[in-house]
Chain A
Amino acid sequence: EDQVTQSPEALRLQEGESSSLNCSYTVSGLRGLFWYRQDPGKGPEFLFTLYSAGEEKEKERLKATLTKKESFLHITAPKPEDSATYLCAVPQGAQKLVFGQGTRLTINP
């Protein structure tokens, strides 16, 4: 069965302190890996799609990378407004997405 595991569950950083979030997956034939950001009380916001090992995508202070077994979301010099839950997901079956449990990121000023 396809599985997605995110770590850590929660991460607290000081403003400007760079770090990485991990998303490990086990799927038969990857058809994309998706990263979303979710703020409390809101729906997830699409960030990135990665399709093949070695691929990287960037958006502001975020950079997503992909290997054959996992993806990392690197956050460089984060600001308090980067605080959110970050979710990764992979397709399952014809249309569905399987989500990880998310990483709750808190950036302290």
Chain B
Amino acid sequence: GAVVSQHPSWVICKSGTSVKIECRSLDFQATTMFWYRQFPKQSLMLMATSNEGSKATYEQGVEKDKFLINHASLTLSTLTVTSAHPEDSSFYICSANPLDSRTYEQYFGPGTRLTVT
């Protein structure tokens, strides 16, 4: 149980274009989903917290107009990187906290490798 998927698993795009990454909870519902960014040999950096039906909460220093997050249902959240630049190249990982969970456990997707050329 508690499986989270991400699509695509990797993507290459040209500078200036936009890329959408999907995060789905497959066998549970999630009121809250999280988006992280990870650089090589570094830990996870939380970008934003996404709540179903409401605006995402972004961490300090994360540009909300560049990283658009939509959480339209209890099983789907999307991250759109707008006007991507090479410095946006990174490993993006989502996670979800089950709706009926009484704990803070998060279950992670497999990640999406974004390369901007």
Q: Is the interface of B mostly helix, strand, loop or mixed?
A: strand
Q: Which of B2, B97, B105, B113 interacts with A41 by CB under 8 Å?
A: B113
Q: How far is the CB of B101 from chain A (nearest CB, A)?
A: 10
8 Å CB contact of A44 from B32, B41, B104, B108: B108
Number of interchain pairs (Cβ within 8 Å): 55
**Chain B residues with CB under 8 A of A32:** 103-105
Q: Counting CB contacts under 8 A, is B93 at the interface?
A: yes
Interface residues of B (CB under 8 A from A): 2, 4, 6, 32, 34, 41-44, 46, 49, 91, 93, 95, 97, 103-111, 113
A49 at the interface (CB under 8 A from B): yes
Whole-angstrom distance from the CB of A105 to the nearest CB of chain B? 14
Return the contact of B104 from the options A42, A97, A99 (Cβ within 8 A). Answer: A97
Please measure, in the bound complex, the distance between the C-alpha atom of A22 and the C-alpha atom of B23, giving whole angstroms: 31
A residues lining the B interface (CB < 8 Å): 31-32, 34, 36, 41-46, 49, 87, 91, 95-97, 99-102, 104
In the assembled complex, which residues on chain B have CB atoms less than 8 Å from the CB atom of A102? 43
State whether B111 touches A41 (Cβ < 8 A).
Answer: yes
